[in-house]
Homo-oligomer: A and B are copies of this chain.
């Protein structure tokens, strides 16, 4: 990649040079749409979604007022309402916004929770409120801590709750830590449950968590960036039972629904709260004497001013597939991951990172090359095993055949985390992955 000349010049380049740049960019790009690309939670490339994104680029407008984006504002309204219906909120009532990604959606939720409990924080800042504490599982996404750091709450005020072996938050530990915090005089204001953790794909027990949140009057957020889409599957939505009790839900259609990046929604149960929390009444942008219904000017409830149009690709895909189309592709991905799990759980040379069937499409496993398989010294074995996944992955990338993620977790050395979110993947692709891991790793 670095061989090419990518520098910016004073003088214009020729059209030929521009085309060469485009070709080189595509040539060296990672083929995220390839059915053997399993590296991230966002994979695949939906043709209707792509066409819709092209149309969006061509329309080149901004979400802040109805005046400059009448159709897109309307489609956002329709789609958010539909998503709230699917969550199970009465008549789809509530509020929401499309934000530039799950981390920002989660930050919105934390911001709303704080404002709900202490509205004066908007004007007076954190010095006007007692010490606030938030709770989330040790397996949750790092954006919860990032949000707390940004919001002036501080990462030390995010209390990590223990997860069980399969990665689910343990409600008893949550309650214990809430009581502990209250005894110290801190104010618990926010619990972020995860529906589909990043590594294990675990679903926290939402009903038990909501009981605790209700008991202690704490805002319950569900980070369903990864797992929220399972709400569209009649076969799998039970994993999110209790989501309708949440105060807010993050749900990223750009992950499990294969909508082109970026497309993340925050759904909020209470109407009007976002507006009150974020509005600044900038009269030069949101004039009060326009000739249309101003409730469509959604810009002032956003943290952003200009906001990219992320809605059209989701809306058009939804029209093209119907809810049942999304359901089918989600079910298929989960079926593929179950196939993978069944294939390797008893296979020679594999160890699962945790027991039991995967809840989401995440399958976490170690591959043990023959040379390591029978090592007696446990520590020695662990040390070797830690290096296996990085080497196999580096070789995958050199050959360009497939790509899959690995990471350590707690005291567990590097393991592969397979995820499947591309409905173009097939059983053969799963078979290939296993063969490829063995081909590239057998000498290690």
Contact = CB atoms under 8 A, between A and B. Distances in A.
Interface of A: 1-2, 6-13, 15, 17-18, 21-22, 24-26, 28-30, 32-33, 39-40, 42, 44-45, 48, 50-55, 57-62, 67-72, 74-75, 78-79, 82, 100-104, 107, 111, 114, 121-128, 131-132, 141-143, 145-146, 148-157, 198-199, 254, 260-262, 277-278, 280, 282-285, 287, 289-291, 303-309, 312, 315-316, 318-325, 387, 390, 393-394, 397, 405-409, 414, 417
Given A55-B25, A305-B101, A318-B8, A152 B126 contact: yes
B284 A75 contact: no
Contact of A406 (B287, B315, B390, B407): B287
Contacts of A21: 316, 319
A284 B198 contact: yes
A305 B78 CA distance: 27
Stoichiometry, copies per complex? 2
19 contacts: A6-B78, A8-B323, A11-B322, A12-B324, A25-B55, A26-B59, A40-B62, A121-B149, A123-B154, A124-B156, A128-B154, A142-B280, A146-B278, A199-B284, A262-B306, A283-B408, A287-B407, A289-B414, A290-B390
Given A32-B60, A53-B57, 12 more contacts: A17-B319, A22-B52, A29-B69, A30-B61, A67-B397, A102-B306, A103-B303, A104-B304, A114-B152, A125-B153, A284-B409, A285-B407
B283 A8 contact: no
A126 B127 contact: yes
Contacts of A321: 12
Contacts of A390: 287, 289-291
A72 B28 CA distance: 10
Contacts of A157: 125
A44 B406 CA distance: 44
Nearest to A66: B1
